[in-house]
Structure 1
Amino acid sequence: MRATSSVIVGRDAETGLLDEALEGVGRKAGRAVFLVGEAGIGKSRLAGECALRAYDRDVPVLRGRATSTGLVVPFRPLVEALSSRFRAVGAPDHPELDPYRPALAGLVPEWRAGTVAPGYAISLVELAEALLRLLAVLGRERGCVILLEDLHDSDTETIAVVEYLVDNLADLPVLLVGTLRPDAGPALDLALAAELRNTAAVRELGPLDEDSVRDMVDACLDAAPDEVPPAAHRHLAQRAGGNPYLVEVLLADLLETGRLSRGGDGWRLADHGEATVPTGAVRSWARRLDRLDEPVRELLLLAATLGGRFSVGALRAVTGLDDRALFAHLRSASEAGIIAPDGAAHDHYTFRHVLTADALRASLPPAEQAALARRAATAIEQSSGELSGEQRQLVATLRLAAGDRETAARQFAQVGRQMLDAGASGSAAVLLERARGLAAEEERDEVTVHLAIAQAESGRLDAAAALLDDLPPAPAGSRAAEERAQAHTQVAWVATMAERQEEARRRIRAARALLGGAPRPEQEAALVVVEGHLALLPEQDGRADGRERLKEAERSARRAALTAEQRGRPMVACQAWQLLALLSRERGFDEADACLARMLSVAEKHRLATSRAEALVRLGTNAFMRTGEATPLETARAAAHELGSLALLQTVDGLLAMQSVLGARWDRAREIVEGSVEASARLQNVSAHRYLLLVDATLAAHQGRAREQERALARFRRAGGEESMLVPLQRGLCQAVGALMGEDRQRARDELDAARAWERAHPSFFYLSGRYGLRPLLGLLDGDDEGGRAAYREALASPGGQLAWNRMFLGLADAVSRGRDGDPDGARRAVAEAGRAAPVFPQAWHLALRLTAEAALADAWGEPVTWLRTAEEYFHEAGVPAVAGACRALLRQAGVSVPQRRGGRERIPAELRAAGVTPREYEVYVLLVDRPGNQQIARRLCISPRTVEKHMASLMAKTGAVDRSALCASSAERAEGREWAAPPGAPSA
């Protein structure tokens, strides 16, 4: 006789909500739904019904459950959810997921081989973004559902990932359904906060009313309406309190005891005693246990001691049974409907409901519960050598249940420290907090030190500071003082990365006080590296000694780097060399690259994957700035991809996008920005996000799209860009060039002057702000010979003057200066030298030609007409009318005919367009293949012979053909696809 319902009753509103949500994901209207209610109220039933309805729509479903054992296991429900989907079908093969595979491999063990670099811990936000992308790919055709049950039992990391998913589902084909109890805690806080933000729907499941209980009982018994005695319905409705699980438990008890039975005249209810809930449920399970064989009964009691979910290995260790007997008893308990195999893990079982395990434990007197817990803990400890983190937590939980608080504290603390070392700082904080509350007084301070580090690395700096400040004094130089000093140093590093300067300085002062006047060299090195990075941040106290601070930081960092290498602190050494690479840039990129090469060597020697990738990225950045080429950056991107660091990938993508803007590869730049800018915001990768927004604005500026530029700059400002180190690039590379695209020379100079003023007031490590290239050229062009030449000499002597982008503008500034001084040959050579960058930076080169031609016309040197025609053609095709119009105006001033912009210009080969050939002239030129006379051409084109004669003369002048015969020959050669003359406007010696 079945005592479980095959249908869901009394939940029409909730099933309607889930149906609506399932319909929405098919339209890429993602959402999250949280089902909240007490144990047994029907949350899992609704989740299961949602899964069935998704399967009916052929929608992929991923389903996972948090552990109910009280163990802190990072990402347990997420691991189960992915495994439930991919264990059989394998990893999805989609190129969009390539950057995210290393992060996803942290959740699916089968994906780990060869994907995660050693020495790197995937961050929570990177993992969350990877999971979001995976779900989006899975749901691309019909939508996707991820069901996460019992979130109240989840670890801190899972809650953080779920919050990230919930906040970013709106435009994705993904439905997230979470179930949790209404107990105060992070899961409930998450659900309620998401509801307030309108990013999730929360439905609290109340008890079933009497009518719904009646329908449920009838469904359990396959009974027709009014077939079951009303007294039975009343009994179950009153005793179960509307809880569906308790309805089933109590109904099963009625059936097994024979108080409810079916005879020839239908269902009958015998007299029975009254009982209350939950005592009735406890007694019900006790009676069911009494009817089982003694070995099965003892096995179930031991299993309940281990929690609502238990492993076969742990149960084997506790019971001492061989596999044959153990699995026979497990099979009997499963057939009795008490436990079931866990679908998410092949070697685990679960109680049919967590209340079952609670009820079984409650059926024993407290002393017997403690004895069983002590027996189980001892058996697990003795069953193997080194316990895993999960086993240690289980032992700690059992020791606590047995009343041994201090042993439990030590076990929790040890697992917490292991999780902290592995990067699971949130879970580490939970376990260390638990250990701190249980530890003996003499051990509590040591636990507190580790807890402070875990809190800081989890983003709770204030909590970390409070813990460290509450520690009792420790004698300077003692072991306790050294441990606390290291904690202060680590918290100071976190505060520095969060740009909380005052907090970082407080921690450094505290660390130095604990270490006394003579810290060991490696301790001093760690502090110096933090202080050096602090020196890079803008001062909040108004101090104006920034340059001196940087010089002192560099001297200290160099000593720290060498000390850290000698004293076996490779991570500190890498941080120091990275700092030195930045600080030494102003003396030249060779020295900066030497520091990065040393960082790379240390990282590779000690297998520090993160530091290795960061060194490659910075080396690639320097190479890009020197040459304009992207190959080294692509190599660095491959290293970041191998590492699995999404944050580092986004940093490289920003640099590659800027390189594409400078190289006039607009579509590539836009593709990179669109693919990374929102993800960087979700990852809270502030520096990369700001840079990508600036790239977006610079892209619009360089295309002459002023409105798009302002919209992008508004986003940049909202992200705090104007309080960042990117201001010189914003003013010089973006806004000044944008002004030139609008032919507003004065505004461009104002922007360049503002960038230079900012750089003089703040430490700056950017060299593409215009100060080292564009600004000297504009100064000379606008008649400021003295200022322009001084700016030219300053730029030429600086490392910034060696960058490919700047060398192009400086070369043309040199040409303008030489032409003005009466040295036309030297000016032409300078143009030719500058023109080496033309293939790398075509848009900037044509802008520079337009600017330089103005001076060449005035001073009578070079080939200004050819340059203007080339630039006019380029900017006309690029859709920048202001610059194209300025080129035409200068051509008219030079007395040169200006091409009319008729339709059909797109058919003219680029070389002929650059020479100024018009669409009508090109029609004449094409007919010259057969060497017709003027009369024949006139008849073909319906124009007069005199007009043909004028077109012929213009064509010979523009192409350089010496006579009509040469012009006809060039037309024939082009028609046959042979090589023609070099393009006009190309720089010549």
Structure 2
Amino acid sequence: MVGRDEQIDRVEQALRKANSGHGGALFLVGEAGIGKTRLAMLAAEKAAELGMRVLRGRGSTIGPMVPFRPLTEALLSLFRGRSLPEDSALTPYRPMLGRLVPEWGQPHAQHGDSLVVLAEAVLRLLAVEGRDGGCLLVLDDLQDADAETLAVVEYLVDNVEYQPILVVATIREEPSAALDLAHSANRRHTGDILHLTPLGRAEVAALVAACLAVEPDAVPPSVADRLFADSAGNPFFIEELLHALVSSGMLARGVHGWRVVGELRVEVPAALVRGIAHRTDRLRPQGRALLAVGAILGHRFPLSVVQQVVGIDDRTLLAQLQAGIAAQLIMPDEPGPDWYTFRHPLTAEALLAQLTPSDRAQLSGRAADAVEELHPGLPGQWCALVAALRLAAGDPERATLLLVDAGRRALAAGAASSAVALLDRARELSIGGGDVEVRADVLESLLPALAETGAFKRALELVDALDELGGAGLGALRRAALHTQLAKVAHSAGRWSDGLTQIQKARMLLGPDAADEHTAPVDTVAAFLTLDSPSPGRTRIATDLARRAVVAAERVPLPLVACQAWQLLGTLARGHDLDESNECFSRANLVAEEHQLPILRIYALLRLAGNHCLADGDTTGLERVRQEAYRLGAVTVVYTVDAILAMQTVLFGDYATAGQQVADAERAVTKLHLVSILRYVLLARATLAAHQANRPEMERALAEFDRWDGAHSPELPLAIGLARVFCALLEEDAEQVRLELAHAAVVEKENPSTFHLAGPHGLYLLLDVLAGRADWPQFNEVAGAAASRMRWNRHFVELARAVLLGRACRIAEAEAAAAAAREAGECFPTAYHLGLRLVAEEADAHRWGDAEAWLRGAEEYFYRAAVAPAASACRALLRQIGASVRQRRTGADLVPGGLRALGVTVREYEVFQVLAERIPNKTIATRLHISPRTVEKHVASLLVKTSQPSRTALTEYAVRTLR
């Protein structure tokens, strides 16, 4: 660590901060061999001294890029032989962590969540491990890491500030995504860059002296000068070149210390290669073969594979390993006893440079055979490694198949960027020749991988490649399946017309007599595309397609397709028959259970619980689903339920709790980039503001909703009905209500909503009836739908029924309908009082209900809620029907709600408070600076309003009330 005092101080400061709970990130940047790894190793040593947990992993350029390899190595370095820590904070994230350490996963786990969810899982794991003293994550050679690893690292760097975690990463100072990440973090002040610069002349001399175990002044000046000049101050080059000088005898130890023998002849970088070659030449042929095979496998290699290729016994293997260690070429790799690593990454590259092309091809083929024999099925990273070995061995056909398999596995594990890289390589190898079925396999896997990475444009451009496969003789069934894949991509991209075009091509290829196993997937994708394509008849067409898909999928069977289609049918049935919707979701649940599809099962349970909540306003089922999703690690489902519960809490009128729920959910889903859930949470935030007549906050929330493409999303009707219309009603702005209703009508006509609380089946019907735009025919049409029987809607529908019955002089029936409305709406206080305020004038005009009591209750509610326009409107209507109206003086909010509901004024309440002291009227008058006659007047009014028989009884009532 010569010349690194400043950097060491920075590392120690960061470690102490992490040890005390304040994390950070350090990027050690410099050229290859400059000492980044040694500084990182020093950080690990010092962290261990502080009692911190230490994890180490490394990127690699040798062999194919393996998703999450540095992170997997890091976790194994600490957890090999250990199970996942038992901590409730990790429970829902266990399936994601199973991507990195398979034994931590769960049987049949599905990894459909984003990389950000995986990054959050790693963050929580590190936080748990560092809870008692901090945690250090060292990632060496980050410039060679895959895109998924970099995404996780960036997330960690941005979120460790208040965690006991220090991230230390080494990066070569050359253009790379990792270096861009470091500079970006530095600009955001979430990570610091420590540049390791070349050593100066004096520092080179000090380093050489340390290597030779002498004082700096005992180093021959010519040696220090030459090494300084030829190494450019690079410590690794200095050490390697110094080793070559000693090995060649040009620098020798004599009686009087080290001296130069002959002329110093050193070249860089060829000298580095020669130095390593010189060291390997001293080994036996078996030792050289061992190192060559190790280099073929990468910078770290398993002894089992090397031994299989070289063909030596355990005793000889051990002897050659010891020789390699003594030559400072290799060393044991800490994560496992069977693994070794080269001392420097450049060592493996230098060894490969010594091999002839034919030797390298031969060794690669033998290594591939050995891996396949030792690891049947090529689990984990072995598949990608063997693909690279087969390619190096001159077998591109087998390499292509393996790359396709590796790409599929990477995509299944959520590593979409790595999947694209692997499949792109496979496509390059397959273009211009090879089996057309293999080319189809590549394309079939590449399309969803591109969609997962958001490269929709590039994916859709592959339609030409699909047409080329048709010209090359690919069968119609395979081409139809590929067109269906393209349709899925188009659906994900929101390009519904392009998707339907691909569906049409798939159907043409299949023909009218295609088997169910081919038509069912096409119909399912077509149903989803149709449902999301703005059109008046979309729900009917989507229903027909989904029903046909279900029948075919169950006949084959295709459980995944059947489960998806049943859930779509349940969603479509929700608006017209809740029982049918529940039956569809129950069928989806049974299929998912039978075929072990846990994520689809939890979604089916979520939708069943959602139906129950819509019908009765009961969120118990949703809470149970959330617990089950949490147990399974279905994080997306957990946050979906959180969003629904937040919206329900808004409708229940518990605005303080709802505000906290919305804030928590928005923070979480924004952090995890769950866009569809985020839009719903933003609608909950807008609804929360609208139901408090807070238009500025509502507009801010809806502007954020639009920023996430809300104006073109299925949730738009909710933004109008639950937020904009509601806010305008509370503001008593009739013109704004008219404009919003007109907008809602246009949106609903162009694209009927599957969000059934938006208004057409409840609030809008009541407003149309009150305005004379709807009578019994329109009422019966709307009220006959299942959506109108959902509890939120039922409240408004029953009020509309009461109005129509009252106009028909069917008073008893009108009052029964009003009672039904109050029963349905009692759990939605704002909607309940708004509804009563809206119908009170009709009730008074046609002599049904209790308009005065309704208006007084609504006025009290809106006054306490600080919704002044609605409260003022209630007071105006009270005057209009001839009822007395209480004064609203300053300080009225200090009067308890029960007394305020009785009409007790601020001044009367002041008298009421003093009465509890059991003092006479004259003393009260003196205390309050008013006349005794005024006190008598207030006491008389209090007796009437509180229905007390005497002043004594009123006094006792005051004592009890105030207590």
- Band of TM-score, shorter chain: 0.7 to 0.9
1:522 to 517, 523, 528: 517
Would you say the 8 A contact 1:495–1:504 is kept in 2?
yes
Matched, 1:496 2:487: no
User: How far does the alpha carbon of each residue in 1:701-728 deviate from its partner, in whole angstroms, 9 at most, with x for none?
Assistant: 1122222112112211222212222222
Matched, 1:870 2:857: yes
Q: Hey, what's the Cα distance between the residues in 1 that align with 2:65 and 2:344? A: 20
User: How far does the alpha carbon of each residue in 1:261-314 deviate from its partner, in whole angstroms, 9 at most, with x for none?
Assistant: 455644422224524223212221232234445654443333233221011322
Would you say the 8 A contact 1:475–1:514 is kept in 2?
no
Q: What is the match of residue 73 of structure 1?
A: 66
Check 1:495–1:23 CA distance in 2 against 1; reply closer, same or farther (3 A cut).
farther
Q: What is the match of residue 886 of structure 2?
A: 898
User: How far does the alpha carbon of each residue in 1:931-977 deviate from its partner, in whole angstroms, 9 at most, with x for none?
Assistant: 7765676677676543443333333333334555665665576688x
Would you say the 8 A contact 1:580–1:595 is kept in 2?
yes
Would you say the 8 A contact 1:455–1:463 is kept in 2?
no
Matched, 1:771 2:766: no
Matched, 1:796 2:787: no
Would you say the 8 A contact 1:122–1:644 is kept in 2?
no
Letter in 1 for 2:348: A
Q: What is the match of residue 330 of structure 1?
A: 321
Would you say the 8 A contact 1:453–1:464 is kept in 2?
no
Q: Hey, what's the Cα distance between the residues in 2 that align with 1:464 and 1:292? A: 52
Counterpart secondary structure, 1:64: strand
When structure 1 is superposed on structure 2, of 670-679 and 898-907 the one drifting more is 898-907
Would you say the 8 A contact 1:117–1:643 is kept in 2?
no
Check 1:307–1:88 CA distance in 2 against 1; reply closer, same or farther (3 A cut).
closer
Matched, 1:341 2:340: no
Letter in 2 for 1:896: S
Counterpart secondary structure, 1:349: strand
Letter in 2 for 1:253: A
User: How far does the alpha carbon of each residue in 1:365-415 deviate from its partner, in whole angstroms, 9 at most, with x for none?
Assistant: 444444444443344444465443533444443344344444434443443
Q: Hey, what's the Cα distance between the residues in 1 that align with 2:929 and 2:526? A: 81
Q: What is the match of residue 415 of structure 1?
A: 406
Matched, 1:112 2:105: yes
1:250 to 241, 261, 264: 241
1:813 to 788, 797, 800: 800
Check 1:367–1:601 CA distance in 2 against 1; reply closer, same or farther (3 A cut).
closer
Matched, 1:913 2:897: no
Counterpart secondary structure, 1:750: helix
1:958 to 931, 945, 959: 945
Would you say the 8 A contact 1:477–1:514 is kept in 2?
no
Would you say the 8 A contact 1:436–1:444 is kept in 2?
no
Q: Hey, what's the Cα distance between the residues in 1 that align with 2:826 and 2:806? A: 24
Counterpart secondary structure, 1:350: strand
Matched, 1:450 2:418: no
Structure 2 unpaired stretches of 5+: none
1:842 to 824, 829, 835: 829
Would you say the 8 A contact 2:332–2:339 is kept in 1?
yes
Structure 1 unpaired stretches of 5+: 1-5, 540-545, 977-989
1:41 to 34, 37, 47: 34
Q: Hey, what's the Cα distance between the residues in 2 that align with 1:749 and 1:26? A: 61
Counterpart secondary structure, 1:547: coil
Q: Hey, what's the Cα distance between the residues in 2 that align with 1:560 and 1:689? A: 31
Q: Hey, what's the Cα distance between the residues in 2 that align with 1:686 and 1:834? A: 36
Check 1:166–1:872 CA distance in 2 against 1; reply closer, same or farther (3 A cut).
same
Matched, 1:352 2:339: no
Counterpart secondary structure, 1:343: coil
Would you say the 8 A contact 2:19–2:50 is kept in 1?
no
Check 1:97–1:934 CA distance in 2 against 1; reply closer, same or farther (3 A cut).
farther
Q: What is the match of residue 63 of structure 1?
A: 56
Q: What is the match of residue 887 of structure 1?
A: 874
User: How far does the alpha carbon of each residue in 1:25-72 deviate from its partner, in whole angstroms, 9 at most, with x for none?
Assistant: 899998766555543233323444555677788876643212454144
Check 1:740–1:404 CA distance in 2 against 1; reply closer, same or farther (3 A cut).
closer
> 1:692: Cα distance to partner?
1.2
Counterpart secondary structure, 1:179: strand
Matched, 1:718 2:713: no
Q: Hey, what's the Cα distance between the residues in 2 that align with 1:367 and 1:830? A: 90
Letter in 2 for 1:616: L
Q: Hey, what's the Cα distance between the residues in 2 that align with 1:594 and 1:330? A: 66
Q: What is the match of residue 128 of structure 1?
A: 119
User: How far does the alpha carbon of each residue in 1:390-448 deviate from its partner, in whole angstroms, 9 at most, with x for none?
Assistant: 33444443344344444434443443444455554443333333344445966353333
1:482 to 477, 482, 487: 477
> 1:348: Cα distance to partner?
1.8
Check 1:7–1:509 CA distance in 2 against 1; reply closer, same or farther (3 A cut).
farther
Q: What is the match of residue 229 of structure 2?
A: 238
Matched, 1:401 2:388: no
When structure 1 is superposed on structure 2, of 248-257 and 219-228 the one drifting more is 219-228
Matched, 1:213 2:204: yes
Matched, 1:551 2:544: no
> CA RMSD, aligned part only?
4.0
Counterpart secondary structure, 1:443: coil
Q: Hey, what's the Cα distance between the residues in 2 that align with 1:734 and 1:684? A: 24
Would you say the 8 A contact 1:120–1:608 is kept in 2?
no
Would you say the 8 A contact 1:729–1:766 is kept in 2?
yes
TM-score by length of 2: 0.88
Matched, 1:691 2:680: yes
Matched, 1:743 2:732: yes
Q: Hey, what's the Cα distance between the residues in 2 that align with 1:952 and 1:934? A: 9
Counterpart secondary structure, 2:267: coil
Would you say the 8 A contact 1:8–1:45 is kept in 2?
no
Letter in 2 for 1:64: G
When structure 1 is superposed on structure 2, of 274-283 and 17-26 the one drifting more is 17-26
Would you say the 8 A contact 2:116–2:155 is kept in 1?
yes
Matched, 1:309 2:300: yes
Q: Hey, what's the Cα distance between the residues in 2 that align with 1:457 and 1:397? A: 23
> 1:352: Cα distance to partner?
0.7
Q: What is the match of residue 2 of structure 2?
A: 7
Percent sequence identity over matched residues? 44
Q: Hey, what's the Cα distance between the residues in 1 that align with 2:341 and 2:593? A: 46
1:641 to 627, 630, 655: 630
User: How far does the alpha carbon of each residue in 1:86-114 deviate from its partner, in whole angstroms, 9 at most, with x for none?
Assistant: 6699756765555434323433456435x
> 1:143: Cα distance to partner?
8.3
2:139 to 140, 148, 158: 148
Matches within 5 A, 1:584-603: 584-603=573-592
Would you say the 8 A contact 1:749–1:778 is kept in 2?
no
Q: Hey, what's the Cα distance between the residues in 1 that align with 2:695 and 2:749? A: 28
Size of the aligned set, in residue pairs, is 958
Check 1:683–1:552 CA distance in 2 against 1; reply closer, same or farther (3 A cut).
same
Counterpart secondary structure, 1:770: coil
Check 1:530–1:112 CA distance in 2 against 1; reply closer, same or farther (3 A cut).
closer
Would you say the 8 A contact 2:516–2:555 is kept in 1?
no
When structure 1 is superposed on structure 2, of 703-712 and 438-447 the one drifting more is 438-447
Q: What is the match of residue 511 of structure 1?
A: 506
Would you say the 8 A contact 2:26–2:191 is kept in 1?
yes
Q: What is the match of residue 979 of structure 1?
A: none
Letter in 2 for 1:485: A
1:279 to 270, 285, 297: 270
When structure 1 is superposed on structure 2, of 519-528 and 140-149 the one drifting more is 140-149
Q: What is the match of residue 260 of structure 2?
A: 269
Q: Hey, what's the Cα distance between the residues in 1 that align with 2:517 and 2:934? A: 87
Counterpart secondary structure, 1:63: strand
Counterpart secondary structure, 2:70: helix
When structure 1 is superposed on structure 2, of 700-709 and 936-945 the one drifting more is 936-945
> 1:565: Cα distance to partner?
1.0
Check 1:756–1:358 CA distance in 2 against 1; reply closer, same or farther (3 A cut).
same
Would you say the 8 A contact 2:30–2:173 is kept in 1?
yes
Q: Hey, what's the Cα distance between the residues in 2 that align with 1:432 and 1:830? A: 64
Q: Hey, what's the Cα distance between the residues in 2 that align with 1:265 and 1:856? A: 116
